[in-house]
Amino acid sequence: MAQHSEHMQQFWQTAQAKIIKHQCAPISSIMTTDVITMFVNDKLEDSLAIFREHSLRHLVVVNDRKEVKGIFTKRDLLSVEKGGLDRSIRCVANEKVQMVSRNTCIRKVASMMLTHKIGCVPIVQGAMNTLVGIVTESDFVRAFAMSTKCNCGVFND
């Protein structure tokens, strides 16, 4: 766990340096690149296992070329359980997805998330919207916590 903590602290120190230096940092400076996804034909029951195993709240739905085709949330799962979980995730995933490129300003992404009341934004590249990362509310909280000067010692572990 200590190694993971050191890695995260180094990651956020680098992000903080970019934010301070440029005043407008790209979303790539805080995005997660190791995105857990589901394919459009995967079953809803598989999402339940993924949510539990990885403690996630959002899943990006992609096709075989990693093109973003939807978002499926833990909240969505709760609302569709009554219809049975032996259906394709494609049937229930939200297809109207707010996406941005890796160079989009952090502040623009934060504003978009607040305006649209969404908890995550897939980061894509190219005309085909190929998934390269994700940013969640937790990433913003972490970035804030790691970039705020404080002497309480919480992040000194």
Tell me the per-residue pLDDT of 128-157, one tens digit each, with 9 for 90 and over: 999 999 999 999 888 877 766 666 666 554
Neighbour count for residue 130 (Cβ, 10 Å): 14
Q: Taking a C-beta distance cutoff of 8 angstroms, is the pair 47, 103 a contact?
A: no
What the chain holds in terms of domains, given with CATH numbers, is: 2-149 (3.10.580.10)
Indicate if the pLDDT at residue 18 is higher than 70: no
34-90: pLDDT as tens digits: 999 999 999 999 998 999 999 999 999 999 999 999 999 988 888 887 777 888 999
- Distance, CA of 101 to CA of 107 (rounded, Å): 13
Number of H helices, E strands in the chain: 5, 6
pTM: 0.78
Interacting residues of 131 by C-beta distance below 8 A, sequence separation 6+: 35, 37, 60, 62, 66, 67, 68, 122, 123, 124
- Distance, CA of 1 to CA of 20 (rounded, Å): 28
